[in-house]
Amino acid sequence: MANRDKFVQVDGLNIRYIEEGTGPAVLLLHGASLGSSAEVWERNLGPLASHGLRPIAYDQPGFGLSDNPKDYSVAHRRRFILLFMDALGVQKAHLVGHSQAGVMAVSLAFDHPERISKVIALGTGSLLPPLPAGGKQGPREGEEDAVSEPKLEDTRALLEDNLFNRSLITPEVLEQRHRLSVGKNFQAFLERNKAAQEASGKESVPLWQRLEQIPVPLLLIYGKQDRGSAAERAALAKERFPNLNLHLIDRSRHLVQWDAASEFVALSARFLTS
């Protein structure tokens, strides 16, 4: 991937991104899990581009090869999406947000529908209603209990927890993910956790309760075997909001775009080009 790396200055930070295609821009936003980066979309760029789209994946501030920011809040990374678009001269784009980034994409569409065409939220547990009292929800992404830099076996365990098809964890994938989980990226992870604790409890109405009011078309995709009882909670969402465009993909966990790359691209391309 190194020969495809591009860099752009955004708000004083050096930001790394990869892209393919020449059609309408589709920003692919990785989640907040330790080691996340634009690489989570590597196997999806070419297939999406083949549908006449221009997929662009970037390392968010504090991830991958991008600089660490001064502000580690989710709100800063949400605002940064528009700044990144401005830096690339993209006036309007589709957003595809994985896990925590799905919340960023949906909330940005509420605030700036003039800049966002359509939104896909992929594996975003907080956009689903909670189970009745006593149901197991699981931790939010990016809140792994790491207090020291992970060893290689820790990185493997995290990937295994995120994948249904563990054969996708090749030595190259493991080495790359581990390399992006240590050093300045681990320090950023600790700072994000601190910022998340300071910001907790500020949301008045949960975003999942407002999904039917989103001003742009929305597609929700979940792995049927994902953590946090995703399948049960997706059923609750459809029961409460029958008009939601929601798809469950079998034999997939949290990294749906790896476990079911072809089905993810087919669903996404059909939605974005219709």
- Report yes or no: 95 and 109 within 8 Å, Cβ to Cβ: yes
Spatial separation of the C-alpha atoms in residues 86 and 219, rounded to whole Å:
25
Question: Which CATH entry fits the domain spanning 2-273: 3.40.980.10, 3.50.50.60, 1.20.1560.10, 3.40.50.1820?
Answer: 3.40.50.1820
pTM to 2 decimal places: 0.95
Half-sphere exposure of 49 (CA within 13 A, CB side): 15
Report domain extents, the chain.
Answer: 2-273
221-271 residue pLDDT tens? 999 999 999 999 999 999 999 999 999 999 999 999 999 999 999 999 999
- Name which of 57-61, 140-144, 220-224 the model is least confident about: 140-144
| Pick from 246, 236, 239, 36: nearest CA to 122 | 246
- Name which of 3-7, 43-47, 53-57, 62-66 the model is least confident about: 3-7
